[in-house]
Structure formats: C-alpha cells, structure tokens
Amino acid sequence: MTQSSVAVVLFELAVLTGHVPQGRGLSAGTDERRQADRAAIEKLHQQDIAATLSRDPVALTDVWTDDAVRLASGQPAEVGKQAIRASNERRTANKGFKVLSYVPETKDLTFLDVGWAVEWRTFPASYVESPGGEAKQIRGTVLMVLRKLPDDSWKCFRGMGM
C-alpha cells in the first residue's frame, strides 16, 4: 500500500476526531448553547476515534449526514451516506490492517451560524498493514463542515483530507 493510499484510508477512517479548542468564531446564540454545541461536537469526535481504532465501517459511516460528501486527494468524490458506507466497507475489508495510534489536534473550530460549523485539524497516526508487520507513520490534514441535526447532535456534512 503506498503512503498516499494509507493517507486516504486513515482520512476515511478518522475524519472527525480532535480536541475542540475554545477558539474564535462568530457568535450565534447564547453561551450555554455554544457550550452544548461544543460538547456535542466533542462527543462526535470521541465516537469517531472509537470507530477509527476499531475500523468499524458502520460506526465510521454514522458520523456523516445522509447527504454528506467526502473528498480525498486522488479519489472520486463519495456523494451520500450510502457511497461513504460502501467505501468504508471496502477500506476495512483487510482485517490485517490495524490503526495503532491516531492523535488528532483540532487547530480551529468556527461556528458559522446557528447549526453550522467548520473545523480543520492535523493528525499523526501509526498503522500496520498485516499482523506482525512493521509499524508505519503518517501525518494528515482534514477540513470539515459540520451540521447540527434536529436532535441537537452534530454530524459531518462535507469533509476533505490529505
């Protein structure tokens, strides 16, 4: 597997993790609402961390909205949750591939308006391609547009990584 292929796999497996900084952004709502939104986004990040480390294709798909679009360098756009799920199934079929570590760092989380946010982050990760294989390292960058759902949870609406 080439390093760029591994980057695509790790991006697809780990698209929404990281710490939510108390960074700047447009004010849209009360402090209590903003704190609740940050907590809900952090919950989404934690779900994605768990899904990434377990490589669970269903859990990896659950972080996306039904009308999501996922973009990765050198790959066709995955439009809609069904296309993302199919890709996750293909990407996790190699049971020997294991993510050993994934340490995302959100660089910025900006609330654009009520119900919308954008974030970007970087991550180092390590993985093996097969049991007993040599651990390899990779770094990536991700840009996400997040949407708040009617139940007050947040999911990824658009995502792009390299």
d(CA 81, CA 95): 23
Digit-coded pLDDT (tens) for 77-95: 999 999 999 999 999 999 9
pLDDT at 13 over 90: no
pLDDT per position as a tens digit, 20-77: 333 444 444 578 899 999 999 999 999 988 998 999 999 999 999 999 999 999 999 9
Kindly write down the DSSP assignment for every residue of 111-147, as one continuous string.
EEETTEEEEEEEEEEEEESSTTPPPEEEEEEEEEEEE
102-147 pLDDT per residue, tens: 888 899 999 998 899 999 999 999 999 999 999 999 999 999 999 9
